[in-house]
Amino acid sequence: MSVLLRSLPLLLFPGSVPPKPKKKSVKKPVEVDPAAHKLILYIPRAELDGTNQRTLLTHATPFDEALDVIHETIGCADVGKKPALTYKLSNALKSTQATSLRSEDDWTGCLDEVTSAEGEKKKSISVNIFVTDQYLASLRAKLGVKASGTTKGKGKGKKLLILDLEHAESGDDDFDDGVGIMEKEKNFLAELQAKYSRCQLCGPEKACKVDINGNHTKLSNNQLRAWSNSLALGTRGVTLSTPPNDQLFGKFFKNSKPDPAASASAFMAQPPFPFPAYMGMNPYGMMPFPMPGMQPFGNLSTPVTPTPHPKAPRASTSKRSPALPSSDPPDMGAVNPYPDINEFLHQLDGYQPRRHLLDSIPRFEELDFYNIDEIAKLGTAEKLSSVARISLGNSTYILEQVRGEMKRVDRARGDLVV
């Protein structure tokens, strides 16, 4: 009978109290000592064509120490100009935007992301460090390491512009890495001539650079030699895109002072008095007109009839008729006259470093966008933001600068109707 009662469901009678449900035990998250919490970083090495190297740190590693390890692994510890670093977690989607790694706060945020992801996935999460292909190529060039040619992927075959990474402040001499200043200057001169002789407007026979007014200015041999010498010496602020800020390159800087020697030469070239546009023969003789302050030459009593000269034709004021479209097929091998996106964003980053525009370069390379006119074809900032995964503010800024630069190039080439 007692067994039967125990098998029956519990009946509640008026006034009876139901049994309290048992509380389920909740497992508290186990806090791991940061010093014992391992952190795996995959860092690209320039000398290995950007192949990643596995590096082990801990969550207790301070940012400065982590930065030293990253730079040492990349190979840029002794280079003056360090790369812009970004990172992504190993569990992130391919379309996920890389995050900037520039400060202590960025490093703390990275560690927090790893801790959170490991708590959700219940497994170890590593961090991938990214550096632009252009920086790695420039670092290989500085270190004298040749690319193996095994790198694959979109846009990897494109020749990248070599940046000036500057020399270390100490320890460098005129013959570091077995290359003398003269040899470096020769190499930089060849690079400058190759870079600035590609203008479709001026042709390959002369090197030219667009000045601050949008005009194509021919680079003289003296300018090219001075520029290459500054590059060979590692002059601060001088790159393959930025010449020395001195009087020789005054046309390319707003704050540069005019060259006194050039000003003196221009002053001496000017006549001390204005000549008339048309100057006929002196009617009082075969001598030319007298200079101001001088007595006239020749016999004043024997006037000579001046020989009539045809007037110089006046410039036509009528508008030039537009050129007829050519029936020839377009030249598929023509050089794009607009700046390279990589170089253009580096220039903008110098004006607006807080925007971190260099982080956008890998996204344009993924899209196979190489010149700024390809950005303009997207039309709106919203479209650019969506396609390239860039913030709307940066998209608006980039698009405005792109359109302004394209107008300057078109005006210099004579393609823009004002």
Q: How much is the pLDDT for 303?
A: 46
Q: How much is the pLDDT for 67?
A: 93
Compute φ and ψ for 240, nearest 5 degrees: -65, -15
Q: How would you class 345 by CB atoms within 10 Å of its CB: exposed for 0-12, middle for 13-18, buried for 19 or more?
A: buried
Q: What is the rounded (10 degree) CA torsion for 323, 327, 330, 335?
A: -40
Q: Is 241 helix (H, G, I), strand (E, B) or coil?
A: coil
Nearest to 211 by CA among 202, 376, 230: 202
Is the pTM for the entire model greater than 0.75? no
User: Hey, what are 85's tokens?
Assistant: 């670093």
Q: Digits of tens for pLDDT over the chain (418 positions)?
A: 555 555 555 555 555 556 666 666 555 555 667 778 899 999 999 888 778 999 999 999 999 999 999 999 999 988 888 888 999 999 988 877 788 898 888 899 899 999 989 888 888 899 999 998 888 988 888 888 776 554 444 445 556 777 777 644 433 333 343 345 677 888 888 888 888 888 877 877 788 888 888 888 888 887 888 888 788 877 777 888 888 888 788 888 876 544 443 443 333 344 444 444 444 444 444 444 444 444 444 444 444 444 444 444 444 444 444 444 444 444 454 567 888 898 888 888 888 888 888 888 888 888 888 899 999 998 898 889 888 888 988 999 999 999 988 988 888 776 544 3
Q: Is 120 helix (H, G, I), strand (E, B) or coil?
A: helix
Is residue 362 within 8 Å of 94, Cβ to Cβ?
Answer: no
Q: Which residue has the tokens 């900037």?
A: 100
Nearest to 131 by CA among 89, 80, 93, 87: 87
User: Hey, what are 109's tokens?
Assistant: 């945020």
| CA separation for the pair 225, 181 (Å, rounded) | 13
Q: Rounded to 5 degrees, what angle do the CA atoms 287, 290, 296 make?
A: 80
Compute φ and ψ for 209, nearest 5 degrees: -140, 140
The CATH class, in words, for 38-131 is alpha beta
Is residue 369 within 8 Å of 341, Cβ to Cβ?
Answer: yes
Q: How much is the pLDDT for 402?
A: 92
Alpha helices in 122-178 (DSSP H): 133-143
Q: How much is the pLDDT for 234?
A: 77
| CA separation for the pair 130, 362 (Å, rounded) | 9
Q: Indicate the domain borders of the chain.
A: 38-131, 177-260, 341-413
Strands (E), 264-389: none
Q: What is the rounded (10 degree) CA torsion for 253, 234, 359, 66?
A: -140
**Full 3-state SS string of 20-82:** CCCCCCCCCCCCCCCCCCEEEEEEEEHHHCCEEEEEEEECCCCHHHHHHHHHHHHCCCCCCCC
